[in-house]
Amino acid sequence: MRRIVSIIILIIIAVGFIFAFSKIPFGKDKINVANYYIKKGIKQTGAVNIVTSVVLNYRGFDTLGEVTVLFIAAVGLGAVLFVERKIQKNMDDKEDKTKRASLILRTGSRLLFPLILLFGAYIFVHGHLTPGGGFQGGAIIASGFLLMYLAFPKQRINKKTSGLAESLSGLIFVGIGLLGLVFSGYFLTNFLPKGIPNTLFSAGIIPIIYIAIGFKVGFELTGIIDDLLERSR
Amino acid sequence: MSGIYNWMYYIASGGLILIGLYIVLVKTNLIKIVIGLNFIDTGINILLICIGYVRGRTAPIFSRPGISPANVVDPVPQALVLTAIVIGVAVLALALSIVIKVYQHNKTLNVTKIKGLKW
Amino acid sequence: MTLMIFFGVIIIAVILALIRAVKGPTAPDRVVGVDIMVTITVALMVLLGIFFKRRIYLDVSLIYAVLSFVGVIAVARYLDKGL
Amino acid sequence: MIFQLILIFIMIILAVAASLFKDLINAVVACAAVSLITSILFYFLQAPDVAMAEAAIGAGLTTAVFIIAIRKTERYEK
Amino acid sequence: MNQIIGYIVMGVGVAFLFLGALGVFRFPDVYNRLQAGTKCTTLGAFLSIIGAGIVEPTWFLKCLIIAVFILFTNPISAHALARASYKSGVKLWDKSVVDKCKDFEECAKAQEDDK
Amino acid sequence: MVNPSLLIAVPLAFAFSIPLFGLVSKKIGKYIPVVALLINVGISFILIPQILKKPAVVSIGGWSPPFCINLVVGPLGVFLVTLISSIGLLVAIYAISYIKEEPTEKYHMLFLLLITGATGIVLTGDIFNLFVFFEILCISSYALVAYNKDKEGTEAAMKYLIQGSVGSSFVLIGIALLYGMFGTLNMADIASRVTSADPTFLFISLAFLITGFGIEAAVFPLNAWLPDAHSSAPSSISAILSGIAIKTGVYGVARMIYTIFNADGILTFIAFLGLLTLLIGEMSAFRQNDIKRLLAYSSIGQIGLIVFALGIATSLGVFAGLFQIVSHALAKALLFLAAGYMIYRVGSKSIDSLSGLGRKMPLTSFAFTIGSFSLIGLPPFAGFISKFSIVYAAIQVKKPIFLVFVVIALIATVIEAGYFFKVVQNLYFKEGKNVDNVTETSGYIIVPMIILVISIIVIGIHPQFITGLLKGAAGELLGRTGYIGWVLGGS
C-alpha cells in the first residue's frame, strides 16, 4: 500500500520534472546576472578564481551562513551524544582492549599525516588562485585526523583547544565583516588593498577569510568524528 | 540521438532525486533513509551545476592568459553548490547522531518497529 | 584521438570494476571493486586535464590520490573490528 | 559525450544497488562510488571547485561517518 | 618527440589499468582480486600519470606528486583490506595452495608480536 | 541610522564567542543569549519609526542589489524581527534557570543561532540566502528537539529531521528551477521578470517551493512531524518552535505567493487548506490527554487560521492574519512556558495530574488561564481582536464560499474553547492528588510570564500600539510593485 502511494507521488514529481526541465535548455547560454561577475570580477575583487570571488565577496553572506550551519551541526551533535564524564570513564575502561592497527597502517599513516595537513593548507591558502578553498582544505585536514583516529584508536585531540580554535576562527570571520561595516559602511566589504591578480598576496580579505574557514571547518569535522567515536559507546 | 545528450544530466539528477525519495518513502531502515537523503542532495547538486553549464566553455578561473570572459561557464551555481554540499554534510552528521541515539533507546533500526516513528 | 581510445579503454575498465562492485559476493569484494574504480578515476582525471588543457584541474585528482584510501581503511578497520 | 552517458548509467545503477543491498556496509560503499562518479560529472561540467568539495567529502569523511554509525548500531537490514 | 614518448607511456599505463580491472572481474576470490587490482592498477595509474607529465612538461612536478601519492596510499589500503577480510572470515578459494597466515597460531597473535 | 545587518551579525558573534566566555566562567554562558537578544530588541525598536517612514535596503558587500545579497527591511520585516527578538528574549530569560540538563552551554549556543536563523529568514531579500537561513533554523531546531536525549525526544527529532530535510530539498529544487529560468537570485529581480515566463513552469516551481515551506509551516497534509516535535522538546524550545519557527514557514509561503509569483489563482485553495488544517488540528487536540500534545495540536489549528486569513488576500484579511500571528505567538509562548513549569514541578505530562494546581501555583495557573482565554478569543485579550478581524475580513469579501468557511472556523473555535475550558477547570476546580509539596516559583521563571500576560492584556485593550506597523506590513505583502521598486529602483 505504502509502496503504491509513494510510486504515485514519485510519478507526479517526475512528470513535473520533465515539464520543468524541458523549459530550461541544457548547455545553452543563459547567464544573466553572472555576466557582471565574470566581466568585472577580477578588477573588483582581485581574485582570479571567479567562484571564489562569488563565494566570498558577492555572496559572502551565504558563506557565513554555511559556516554557521556546520557549526550548528557540530554543536548539536555534541549536545545529542553528550554523556556524563563519569559514565564515559567506565565505558572507556570496558573498551580498553580495542585492537591495534597493523604495523604497516600505523607507519603509513604516521608518514602521510603531515603531508595531508600540508596539502590541506595548500588548498585553502591558494583558494583565490586555483580551485579549492576553505571548505575543501578543511575537509582534507579533517580526513587527515580521521586517518590518525583509524590507525591509533586510543589517541584523541584536545577538545578544549579545538573548540577554542573553532570559535576564534568564527569570530574572525564575523569580525572582518564588522570591520568592513566600520570602514566602508557595508557588512563583509573588501576593505584591504586588492593587490596584483594571480599572485599569492592578492584579493584583499579573501585569503584571510579562507584561512579562518579552513581552520574552522577542519576542527569542526574533526570534532564531529571525535564525538561520534568517543561519546555514547 | 542528440535528444539524449541534451537530457542526460537531467536524467542523472532527476533519477538520483527520485531514487532518494523512493528510499526515504519506502525503505524501513533508518540508516538507509539517511542514505536516501544524501542521494537527494547529490541529485540537486548535479541539477544546479548542469543548469549553469554552457557547452564548449571552460571553468571560470582565469589562471592563464587567453581565457576570455565570453568563454567561461556560469560561476554562480558553483558557489551555490559549494554551500549546498556543506549543508548536506551537516544534516548527514546530525541525522546519524540522532539515529545512534534512537538505536540506543529502541535496539532496532526498523521504522515499523519504533512506535514514535510510524507515519 | 589517442586520448579518445584511452578514454574508451578506461571506461571499459570502470564497467568491469562496476560489475565486481555490484556482484561481488562479500563486502570486501565490493570494496575492492570501488577501490579499483577510484584508482582508475585518478588516471582518468589526469587524462581529462590534458584533454581540457587546464593544469588547475589536476588538483581534483590529487585530492583523490591523497584521500581515497581513507574510506577504504575505514571499511577495513570496521571489518576487522578495530574501530 | 558517450562517456558521460555511460558514467551516468553507472551512477544510476550504483544508486539503485545501494537501495537494494541488505548489508548496510555494501550500501555505504555504493554510496561512496556514487559520490565518486558525481565528482567526475562535475569535472565534465567544468566545475573543478565543486568536484573538489565532493571529492574531499565523499572520499573519506562521509564513508567514515556512516561506518561509525553502523558500528554503533547494527550491520544488517532486517 | 616528448609527445610520442608520453603517449606511449600513457598507453602502457592504460593497458595495465585495463588488465587490472579485468583481473578484478575474473579472479575467483578476494585475495586474488586484491592482488590483480592493487599491483596492476598502481603501476597503470603511475605510468599514465607520468605519461601525462611527459606530454605537458610544465605539469611534470604536480603529476609526479600525484603518482607518488598513489604509490604510497594504494598498498596501505590493499594491505588493510586483505587483513580485514581474512579476519572477518572470508574463505580462500578452494584451489589456493598456500595460507601463510594460518601458519601462525592466530593472526591476532602475530599482531601482538608487532609491538 | 543603525545598520540592520547588525541584527544578524551581533547574535552570530555572541554565539561563536560562548565557548570563549566559557573559559572565564561556566556560568556566563547562559546570560549571553539574553544580552545578545536585548541588543537586538533595542535595534529593532530604534528601527521601527525610521522604517515606517522609509524602508531600508541594505546591501552586503557593497554592490548594487541584483548583484549581491541584500537585506530588505520593510514594515513586515521589522515587525517580524521585533516579534522574534522579543519572544526570544523572554524565552531566553526563562531558560536561564529552566535548563538544567547538561551541556547547557551548547543549548544556549543552539538557541541563539535558532533565533538568528529566524531573523535572517524574515530580513533577507535573496532567495538562496533565504534557503541558507531556513536551514540554520531547521538544523538547530532538530538538534534542540533531541536535546533531552530521551526516547520520545530523539524519535520526534528523527521524524522532524527526515521530513524537514526533504522539505528543504524541495525548496532548493524550486530555487534551482527559478535560477535556470531567470538567471538571478534576487527576489525582487525574479518578481519583476516573472510575467515573462511560461505559466506551467511557474506553477511547478511554486509547487516545489510551497511544499518545502509548507512542511516547516505544518500546513495540513504535511504536518505529521509537529505534534511529536513540539510535545517532546524542552518546553522553552516548544515555545520558540510554536511561537516563531512555524511562523517563519508561513512567512516563506506568503512571500512566495504574494511577492514573487503574484499567484492569485491559488489563494482560495490556500485558504481552503488553512481551514482544513484548522479543523484537523482542533479536532485532534480535543482528544488529547497530554497537555503538551494538546498545545501542539492547538498550534496546528492556529496556523491553519493564520493561513486562512492570509488566503483571504484583502488588505484587511492580511492585516488580521498578521495580528493573529502576534496574538498566537504571545499566547502560545505563554502557554508553553507555564505548562512547562507545571510539568517540571509535578513530573507528569497528563492533564489529570495537573488538577488542583490553581491553589498551589497561583501565578503560573493564572498565566496559563490568561493565555488560553486569549487563544480562544475572549474579549479583553489580544486574541479576541485578531479573531474578530479575521471573521470580519472574511465576511467583507462577499463571496458565498467564504461565508461557509467562516462558519466552519467558528465551529473550530468552539471546539477549541471546549478543551481549553476543560484544562482550566482541571486547574482550579478539582482536588489534586499528589500536589502537596508543589510550590510557586520565582525569579527568572516568572518574569517572562508576567511580561507576556501584561502584553496580551495591553494589546487586547489598546491595539493601536501595533496596528500602524501591521497595516504597513500588510501593505508590503500585497504591494509587490512597491517592493520591487525599493530594491531595484532605490539604489
Q: Show pLDDT as tens, one digit a residue, over chain F (491 residues).
A: 678 888 888 888 888 888 888 888 878 888 888 999 999 999 988 888 888 888 888 888 777 777 888 888 888 888 999 999 999 999 999 888 888 877 888 888 899 999 999 999 998 888 899 999 999 999 999 999 988 888 888 888 998 999 999 999 999 999 999 888 888 888 888 888 888 888 888 889 999 999 999 888 888 888 888 888 888 888 889 889 888 888 999 999 888 888 888 888 888 888 888 888 888 888 888 888 888 888 889 889 888 889 888 888 888 888 999 999 999 999 999 999 888 888 888 888 888 877 777 777 888 888 888 888 888 888 888 888 888 888 888 888 888 888 888 888 888 888 888 888 888 888 888 776 666 667 776 777 888 888 999 999 998 888 888 888 888 888 888 888 888 888 887 54
Verify cis geometry, omega within 30 degrees of 0, for the bond prior to A197.
no
- What is the average pLDDT across A207-223? 88
Which residues of F, range 207-236, sit inside 8 Å of A by Cβ?
A: 207-208
Are B51 and F179 within 8 A, CB to CB? yes
- C17 close to D (CB below 8 A): no
Residue numbers of the domain that contains B104: 2-55+68-117
Please count the structural domains in chain C. 1
Look at A112 and E80 and tell me if their CB atoms are within 8 Å.
no
B-proximal residues of F, 181-210, CB under 8 Å:
183, 185
Cross-chain residue pair A187–F132, CB shorter than 8 Å: no
Q: Is the CB of C60 inside 8 Å of chain D's CB atoms?
A: yes
Residues of E in contact with C80 (CB under 8 A): 83-84, 87-88
pLDDT of residue A91: 56
pLDDT at F420: 87
Residues 6 or more apart whose CB falls under 8 angstroms from that of F42 comprise none
Domain contains B21: yes
Chain A residues with beta carbon closer than 8 angstroms to that of E83: 102
Q: Which domain holds residue C14?
A: 2-81
Cβ of A174 and F63 within 8 Å?
Answer: no
Nearest Cα to Cα of residue C54 among F140, F58, B79, D44 = D44
Determine contact: C12 vs chain D, CB below 8 A: no
Chain A / chain F CB contacts < 8 angstroms: 168
Q: Do chains C and E touch (3 or more CB pairs under 8 A)?
A: yes
> Residue E115: pLDDT band by 50, 70, 90 thresholds?
very low
Exposed/middle/buried for E95, CB within 10 Å: 0-12, 13-18, 19+?
exposed
In this predicted structure, the answer to whether residue A143 has a pLDDT above a threshold of 80 is yes
Contact F207 A65 (CB under 8 A): no
Contacts of D10 in chain C (CB under 8 A): 14-15, 18
In this structure, what DSSP letter does residue E92 have? Answer: P
For A109, nearest residue in chain E (alpha carbons)? E76
Alpha-carbon gap: B65 to the closest alpha carbon of chain D (Å): 18
**Least Cα separation, residue D54 to chain B (angstroms):** 7
Q: Are A53 and B73 in contact (CB under 8 A)?
A: no
Task: Tell me how close the Cα of C8 comes to any Cα of chain E, in angstroms.
Answer: 10
Residues of F whose CB is below 8 A from A73 = 139, 143
> E: neighbours with 3+ CB pairs under 8 Å?
A, C
pLDDT at F136: 92
CA distance A62 to chain B (A): 7
pLDDT, position A232: 45
| Interface predicted TM-score (ipTM) | 0.92
Measure D65 CA to nearest chain C CA, in Å: 9
State what percent of residues in chain A have pLDDT above 70.
91
Residue of chain D nearest C68, judged by CA positions = D59
Q: Which of C43, C73, C77 lies closest to E49 in CB terms? A: C43
3-state secondary structure chain F: CCCCCHHHHHHHHHHHHHHHHHHHCCCHHHHHHHHHHHHHHHHHHHHHHHHHHCCEEEECCCCCHHHCCEEEECHHHHHHHHHHHHHHHHHHHHHHHHCCCCCHHHHHHHHHHHHHHHHHHHHECEHHHHHHHHHHHHHHHHHHHHHHCCHHHHHHHHHHHHHHHHHHHHHHHHHHHHHHHHCCCEHHHHHHHHHHCCHHHHHHHHHHHHHHHHHHHCCHHHCCCHHHHHHHCCHHHHHHHHHHHHHHHHHHHHHHHHHHHCCCCCHHHHHHHHHHHHHHHHHHHHCCCEHHHHHHHHHHHHHHHHHHHHHHCCHHHHHHHHHHHHHHHHHHHHHHHHHHHHHHHHCCCECHHHCCHHHHCHHHHHHHHHHHHHHHCCCCCHHHHHHHHHHHHHHHCCCHHHHHHHHHHHHHHHHHHHHHHHHHHHHHHCCCCCCCCCCCCCHHHHHHHHHHHHHHHHHHHCCHHHHHHHHHHHHHHHCHHHHHHHHHHCC
Q: What is the mean pLDDT of chain D?
A: 88
Whole-angstrom Cα distance, residue F38 to residue F115? 12
What pLDDT, on the 0 to 100 scale, is given for residue F491? 45
Measure the CA–CA gap between E53 and F188, rounded to whole angstroms: 50
Please write the tens of the pLDDT for every residue from E63-73: 898 888 888 88
Residue of B nearest to F184 (CA): B76
What CA–CA distance (Å, rounded) separates A220 from A159? 10
Are B60 and A224 inside 8 Å of each other by CB?
Answer: no
Q: Chains touching chain D at 3 or more Cβ pairs under 8 angstroms? A: A, B, C
Is A59–B79 a contact, with Cβ atoms under 8 angstroms apart? yes
Average pLDDT over every residue of E84-104: 74
CB distance A105–E80 less than 8 Å?
yes
What residues in A contact B55, CB-CB < 8 Å? 27-28
Chain mean pLDDT for chain B:
86
Domain locations in chain F? Answer: 6-488
Q: For the stretch F168-192, what's the b/e string if a residue is b when 16 or more beta carbons lie within 10 angstroms of its beta carbon? A: bbbbbbbbbbbbbbbbbbbbbbbbb
Q: pTM here?
A: 0.93
Q: Which residues of F touch A58 (CB under 8 A)?
A: 61, 63, 67-69
Q: Is the pLDDT of residue B39 over 90?
A: yes
Residue B62 domain flag:
no
Contact list in E for residue C17 (CB cut-off 8 A) is 21, 24-25
Contact of A108 with chain E, judged by CB distance below 8 Å, is answered with yes
Is C57 within 8 Å of A140 when comparing Cβ atoms? no
Query: Which residues of chain E make contact with A111, given a CB cutoff of 8 A?
Result: 72
Q: Do B64 and C55 touch (CB under 8 A)?
A: yes
By Cβ distance, the residue of B90, B101, B115 closest to F146 is: B101
* Cβ contact C47:C80 at 8 Å: no
Size of interface A-D (CB pairs under 8 A): 45
Count of the separate structural domains present in chain B:
1
What is the pLDDT at residue A92? 55
**Which residue from F16, F140, F185 is facing A171, i.e. has the nearest CB?**
F16
Percent of chain B predicted with pLDDT > 90: 29
Q: Is C25 on the interface with A (CB under 8 A)?
A: no
Chain C hits for A112, Cβ within 8 Å:
66
The CATH code of the domain that includes B44 is 1.10.287.3510
Residue of A nearest to D54 (CA): A136
Summarised one tens digit per residue, pLDDT across range A21-61 is 888 888 777 778 888 888 887 777 777 888 888 888 888 88
- Report the chain C residue with the minimal C-alpha distance to residue B63: C56
pLDDT classification of A64: cutoffs 50, 70, 90: confident
- Give residue A96's pLDDT: 47
Question: Rounded to the nearest 5°, which phi and psi values hold at C61?
Answer: -70, -30
**Contact check, Cβ <8 Å, E74/C39:** yes
The full set of domain ranges for chain D reads 2-71
Chain D partners within 8 Å of C41 (Cβ): 36, 39-40
User: CA-to-CA distance for A187 and A198, rounded, in angstroms?
Assistant: 26
Top pLDDT among B77 and A84 is at B77
